[in-house]
Chain A
Amino acid sequence: MESILTQQLSFKIGAKTILDNISLQVPDRSIYGYLGRNGAGKSTTIKLLLGLLEDQADTIFIQGNSLKAHPTGVYANVGNLIESPCYYTKLTVFENLKYLDIIHKKGNKRIDEVLEMVDLHRERKKKASALSMGMKQRLGIAMAIFHDPQLLILDEPLNGLDPQGIVEMRNLFCHLNEQGKTIFLSSHILSELEKIATHIGIIEGGKMIFQGTKRELLGQVDREVYLRTASPEATASVLRNSGFSGVKIEGENVAVTIGDDMQFGLMIKSLVEKQIDIYGLESRSADLEQIFINLIARANG
């Protein structure tokens, strides 16, 4: 079942199309990384998913429920953090969560538990306005997860966090995911998304240009394999004769471009048949950042 499902979601401001037939499919218990350049439509999508912008056509379904028909029911099971953290400046850290507790009725024990999770327990009596930027971000995350929602929608949740904070939040998201929560997050820190996302969606100019598992995305691009052999020249010659592209000798190594797993098998087979000894092998695939840039460039012709 999909935690988030949109059926050709479109959104216009005046004559300008912001989103064009976006069909999001966010599987249950996944960590879905939503990528796009500035102005691509990420935040608009997220605001629509949370009902902060009105979807006139009723195309958004959260955990099987129509957002338009059952907004309050949907909100009971969704936590969110959009762009900058929201909190009441005149309330303390504890009071901000207490305010949510009045609505969700989870008890003071849950407040303590959440403050421990985001490492804010020592600041519980501090006014929210007196917190540092990173701590405010943590408070925003605490408020998003307070009611133990099944789905978290997070827009740039790592903004303002120091490297240690980023690692802690990454671990927290993984921990929540292990508990069965679905996490939909957008972030500009692609290296972090690459580490935790199970699924990726890429949006460009209001259109979805990729959606699938991270493995499917990484499989979309060629990877370079570096071979260390007894005879680089002979190896390069065998590979060229077998039809492999991008073969080049780099010192003691031979580099070759491999498209998929089947090609990789063929390469090994042809080298073994010609009795070439392989001493070492290193596979270097493009990272998410490179794939993202390539896909955006391809989408823009």
Chain B
Amino acid sequence: MANTFYTAFLSEKYKLLRNREIFGVLIAPMLLIFAISAYIIYDIVNSGGASAIPNPWKVLLGRYVFQFFYLLYPILVALFVYACCDVEYKNNNYKILFTVPISKSNIFFSKATFILLTLLFSILFAYAAFLISGYLLSLIYPVLGFQNYDYRQVIFYTFLKLFITLSAIGMIQLALSLLFRSFIYPIGVGMFMLVFSVLVAQKRFSDFIPYTGAYNAVMNILSENDSFARLDYCDMVMVVVFLLISFYLFKRKGQF
């Protein structure tokens, strides 16, 4: 027995990996990209042939993928994070969690690390699926011109910024899931913020709303934006702030 972060992480990983929701957040974005690629092929076949497109990474694949992502990804993250907390709510399993010989801080930070790592892998899988889809489309339909554009830097930064945004959303959802036992509140707030962020995306204050980041990913890929802006720095701060708020809420959970 060892009261270490590593032991806590292994135990959290063992328990949380058996949640179906984790596969939703890990695999769904990747499957979506492949589904969009399949649709592009279907569309070309139906329309009688492919024609050259200026920068298909942006206009064809990027546009479709990120339009889906900005609505889908935050919801997947909210569901996944809630599921990570829900395993402890069921049967009041906090009683197990707080009577094992591991400190609350190790348990909490291992849980948060697991959430962030899952989001990282989810983004990495989606990033790989995006590049593979473009590569496969360039092989099947060279006329589309995927091979003619080196768009890797913009794609990389768009996915990187999306990861930072999702991490901030993940931490906000973690705080909400720890605050409210009922499924309705964290998911409801997440959905509301998503819609709200789309409505106010053009306002300057929207930089302080991490949910705007998912919408901005569409803009980033279309406008070839690969630089960090105020929103991205705000998201980084939000990750830390909401991580600490969540830690406070988690420690308070011990008082039944």
* CB-contact partner of A103 in B90, B92, B100, under 8 A: B100
Which residues of chain A from 128 to 151 have any CB-CB distance to chain B below 8 Å in the complex? 143, 147
Q: Are B103 and A86 in contact (CB under 8 A)?
A: no
Q: Which residues of A approach B to under 8 Å, CB–CB? A: 47, 50-54, 71-73, 75-76, 78, 80, 82, 84-91, 95, 98-100, 102-105, 143, 147
CB–CB A103/B102 < 8 A: yes
Q: Interface residues of B, CB < 8 Å — how many?
A: 26
Partner of B99, one of A75, A85, A98: A75
Tell me whether B254 and A52 are in contact (CB under 8 A): yes
Interface string of B212-256 (1 = CB under 8 A from A): 000000000000000000000000000000000000000000111
Query: Given A86-B93, A89-B91, A90-B19, are A103 and B101 neighbors across the interface (CB < 8 Å)?
Result: yes
CB distance from A70 to the nearest CB of B (A): 10
With both chains docked as a complex, state the minimum distance between the C-beta of A167 and any C-beta of chain B, in angstroms: 26
Main secondary structure of the interface of B (DSSP, over half): loop
Residue from B93, B95, B99 in contact with A88 in the complex, judged by beta carbons closer than 8 Å: B93
- Residue among A72, A91, A95 facing the most chain B CB atoms (10 A cut-off): A72
4 more A-B contacts (CB under 8 A) besides A53-B255, A87-B96, A102-B14? A50-B99, A76-B101, A91-B18, A99-B15
Given A80-B99, A143-B96, A85 and B91 touching (CB < 8 A)? Answer: yes
In contact, B92 and A72 (Cβ under 8 angstroms): no
B58 to chain A, nearest CB (A): 41
**A residues near B256, Cβ cutoff 8 Å:** 47, 52-53
A202, B93: Cα distance in complex, Å:
28
Q: CB of B98 within 8 A of chain A?
A: yes
Q: What residues of B have a CB within 8 angstroms of the CB of A90 in the complex? A: 18-19, 87
Query: Does B45 lie at the interface of the complex (its beta carbon under 8 Å from any beta carbon of A)?
Result: no
Is B11 an interface residue when CB atoms closer than 8 A count as contact? yes
Check B1 for interface membership: any CB of A closer than 8 A: yes
CB of A253 to closest CB in B, whole Å: 53
In the bound complex, residues from chain A placing their C-beta under 8 Å from that of B15 are: 88, 91, 99
Q: How far is the CB of A44 from chain B (nearest CB, A)?
A: 10
